[in-house]
Each structure stands twice: as C-alpha cells, then as structure tokens.
C-alpha cells in the first residue's frame, strides 16, 4: 500500500496544484506588479519563492511549502481548507509556475518540481527507485495544469494535461492515467464565484489485481457567502469501479450528489443528498446489489471555530480536547440521517423490496465533557437519539435465515404493518426504548 500511495502522489500533487491556483488571486492578476505583491505576501505566510525570472511578458518562479502551520490560514483565505497534519505531509514540496501575459489574458502553467520531504524520510531502496521515477516524470512535466484568465479578470478556463504513466517497482507495476480534466469558472473581485469541472476518466491499475476506474465525472461549485463553508456544489459520476483482487469488488453506476452549506453567526448548517442507480458488491461467488439508493444527511448548529480547532488539535492534549468538545456541544449541535434507503436489494440472486432508515442525534449544551471520563452515564441525560428502520417483509424474512440476524429478530420483535417490518429505537432520559418498550 505504501508503494501504491507513492504511485498516486503525482495525481494528488497535481490536483492540489489545481485547487490552490484556481482559488488564489494571482491567477487573475493582469499586471506583474500585482503578482509580485502576492508572492511577497506568500513569503511571509509559510512559503518560499525562488528561481524568479522576468521578461516583458513572462515570469517564472518556484514556490515551496516551508512552514505548513503558518501557511494554513493563508490557504484557508484562498478557499482551500485542509487539516494541519495533512498539509504537514506536503512540507518541502515545490511547484514551478510559468506565467505568460498576452492581450487575450494571462496564462499559467503549473507543475511539481520537487516531492515532499516526508516521502524521503523512511524510504527503503524499493521506495527510492519509485521516487526516482516520479522525479523523472516531474522533469518532463507529466503533471501539468494550464489555466487562462480573460482580460477583464472575470472568467477563467483550464485543463490538466492527460496522464498515462507507469511506475515499476520490485515485483510490482503501477499504472495510472487521467484523461479529459477541464475546468472553467467566473470570478468576482478576484475571488471564485462559480466553478465547473469535468473528467472523462481516471484509472489506477497494479500488477496484483488492484483496479480503480472512474468514468464521466461532472461537478459544479458556487460560492454563496463570506466563508469557505458558504457554498453549494453538485457532483455526478457515470461509473466507479474498485476491484481489490481476491478481496472482491465494488461497482457503482449513476451516482449524483448535492451539498449545501451555510454559516450563520459562527454556526455551520449543512445538508447532503446523494442518489445512486446501482451499487454492486462482489465477494468470491457472493453478490449483493442495491438499486436506487439514497443517502441524505443534515448537520445543524456545528460550532465552526471549534470544529476547525478540533481538526488540528493534539489528541494527546486532554485539556485542549475537552475544551474544544465543550465548545462544540455548547450550541446544541445536531446530526441527522434523514434518509438511507434502497428500493431493491438483490441477495443470493433474489430480488427483494428494500428498506428505509433515518436517525437523529442531538447533544444538549448541558453535557459536561470533563465529567464524562468520571461518569460516562451522565452523558445519557444530555443526549437524545432515535433510529427508525423499516424493511420489506421479503427482505426481513431473507435476513432471518442468517443465524446472527435471526437472533436479533427473536430478541426484539418488530412492528408489522402492510408487509413492512419496523424497528423504532429511542434513547430518552437515559432509557433505551425499542418500539416504545424499555430494554432496562
């Protein structure tokens, strides 16, 4: 898996380059002075700029991530939200940037020229050979993003160079490809307002029968407010196939998603809606299929500042973690699974009517985080949760033929109405109820 991770690194760096560049103001700079001002600011925000050359209508420079902690707020300002530990893995990575100023606008070419230092720290001889191959790919600019901004600075277009590369390790070959990645968008006062992307295909293949293939990705993004968390976005994908050799495979067709996020008075509200036409899972001779599935999630009253602190907090710092979690629950945070369902389930070659499920978790601000370690049962008074699961009669009877699941059906009887079997679970005032009956 370490070798596979190295094989994917080029794609990840190129993707990070794309988001970093499209989201930053220098992509819209029509004057070299504006670009130089931005570069000067970057050098005070955790980056090092070197190898700078300038002509009347061109510029070249190299940007290195030098101090991830200092760079984090700068990137957030540009619309790229990352956890500090993730950004730290990119320390030492260098990006080359070529800029061309023309009457038709400003063009940018971006490409990695140096890998992060962390990849070299514990590399064995096999890893070093893979790293050398990646370095050779970077030398020929295998991972290149091109973007152009129109003269008015209100629109941009771009693409990633098609990728078809192979890494040869000791007894292992990794092939990865990317084709037809294009993007375009609009800007308002040098900030992205809308972004549309399309990707024809993405593929990863290894000699030990690990195959990943993504086809027909489309996405849109629109900024709707003042923060990076104010947005609406949509994704659709024709096919996703993951084959794990002897571990089985997953095939998903017709996936779509919409997410809407807003921040009001420092509290995050987010909704997520997904649909998938078909999900097929194969394990040996067994096949499980879900048709017309849906997954809807809602988050209310999430303390945004505390949530960001949590992502970068030290898990070993107990006092810090308790303070952050207490701040999160102070606003009555709620998590809701509004819908998880499948119209049809195919199990052991039998087509069965499916299931629906919803759940809710609400944490009252009275919850004392520090007291949880002393007496965990105190949390039950401050937490309210419920779960509703309904299965078709045919699906319930089929699942009852499995010993482990049949035991559940014997211990807890479902409610039955109109050929539907329902379980209602509720945690209220420290008491767990199933279909209205206490389990205590």
Q: Are residues 124 and 258 in the same domain?
A: no
Q: How many domains does the chain have?
A: 2
pLDDT in tens, 256-297: 999 999 999 999 999 999 999 999 998 877 889 999 999 999
**239 occurs within a structural domain:** yes
Cβ–Cβ under 8 Å, residues 194 and 52: no
Q: Are residues 163 and 240 in the same domain?
A: no
Domain final residue, candidates 179, 210, 233: 179
**218 occurs within a structural domain:** no
Torsion of CA 311, 317, 319, 325, to 10 degrees: 20
Q: Are residues 27 and 152 in the same domain?
A: yes
The pTM for the full model equals 0.81
Residues 6+ apart with CB under 8 A from 294: 273, 274, 275, 276, 339, 340, 341, 342
Q: Are residues 155 and 26 in the same domain?
A: yes
Q: Are residues 367 and 440 in the same domain?
A: yes
Q: Are residues 157 and 97 in the same domain?
A: yes
Cβ–Cβ under 8 Å, residues 93 and 115: yes
**270 occurs within a structural domain:** yes
**202 occurs within a structural domain:** no
What is the DSSP annotation of 8-74? HHHHHHHHHHHHHHHTSGGGG--SHHHHHHHHHHHTTTTEEEEEEEE-SSEEEEEEEE--HHHHHHH
Q: Are residues 88 and 143 in the same domain?
A: yes
**14 occurs within a structural domain:** yes
Q: Which domain holds residue 1?
A: 1-179
**201 occurs within a structural domain:** no
Q: Are residues 162 and 252 in the same domain?
A: no
Round to whole Å and give the CA distance between 255 and 274: 7
Structure letter (DSSP) for residue 328: H
Q: Are residues 19 and 77 in the same domain?
A: yes
pLDDT in tens, 248-260: 899 999 999 999 9
Give pLDDT, residue 79: 65
- CA 379 from centroid of its chain's CA atoms: 31
**197 occurs within a structural domain:** no
Highest mean pLDDT among 52-61, 170-179, 207-216, 338-347: 338-347
**191 occurs within a structural domain:** no
**Residue 15 confidence (pLDDT) above 50:** no
């Amino acid at each position: 898996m370490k070798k596979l991770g190295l094989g994917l690194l080029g794609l990840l760096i190129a993707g990070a380059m794309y988001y970093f560049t499209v989201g930053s103001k220098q992509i819209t700079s029509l004057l070299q002075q504006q670009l130089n001002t931005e570069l000067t600011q970057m050098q005070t925000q955790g980056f090092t700029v070197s190898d700078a050359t300038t002509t009347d209508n061109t510029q070249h420079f190299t940007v290195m991530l030098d101090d991830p902690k200092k760079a984090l707020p700068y990137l957030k300002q540009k619309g790229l939200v990352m956890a500090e530990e993730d950004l730290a893995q990119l320390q030492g990575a260098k990006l080359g940037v070529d800029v061309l100023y023309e009457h038709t606008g400003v063009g940018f070419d971006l490409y990695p020229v140096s890998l992060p230092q962390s990849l070299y720290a514990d590399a064995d001889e096999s890893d070093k050979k893979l790293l050398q191959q990646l370095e050779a790919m970077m030398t020929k600019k295998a991972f290149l993003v091109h973007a152009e901004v129109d003269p008015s600075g209100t629109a941009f277009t771009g693409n990633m160079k098609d990728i078809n590369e192979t890494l040869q390790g000791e007894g292992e070959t990794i092939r990865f490809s990317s084709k037809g990645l294009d993007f375009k968008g609009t800007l308002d006062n040098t900030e992205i307002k809308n972004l549309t992307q399309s990707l024809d295909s993405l593929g990863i293949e290894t000699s030990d029968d690990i195959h990943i293939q993504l086809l027909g990705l489309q996405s849109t993004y629109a900024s709707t407010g003042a923060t990076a968390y104010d947005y609406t976005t949509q994704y659709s994908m024709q096919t996703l196939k993951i084959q794990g050799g002897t571990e089985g495979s997953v095939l998903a067709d017709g996936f779509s998603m919409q997410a809407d996020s807003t921040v009001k008075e420092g509290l995050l509200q987010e909704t997520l809606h997904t649909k998938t036409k078909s999900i097929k899972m194969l394990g040996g001779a067994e096949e499980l299929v879900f048709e017309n599935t849906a997954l809807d999630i809602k988050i209310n009253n999430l303390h945004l500042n505390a949530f960001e602190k949590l992502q970068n907090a030290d898990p070993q710092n107990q006092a810090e973690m308790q303070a952050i979690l207490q701040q999160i629950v102070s606003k009555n945070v709620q998590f809701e699974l509004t819908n998880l369902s499948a119209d049809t389930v195919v199990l052991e070659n039998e087509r069965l009517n499916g299931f629906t499920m919803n759940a809710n978790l609400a944490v009252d601000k009275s919850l004392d985080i520090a007291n949880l370690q002393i007496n965990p049962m105190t949390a039950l008074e401050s937490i309210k949760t419920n779960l509703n699961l309904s299965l078709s009669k045919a699906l319930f009877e089929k699942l009852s033929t499995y010993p482990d699941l049949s035991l559940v059906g014997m211990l807890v009887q479902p409610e039955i109405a109109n050929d539907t079997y329902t379980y209602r679970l509720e945690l209220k005032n420290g008491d767990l109820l199933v279909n209205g009956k206490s389990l205590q």
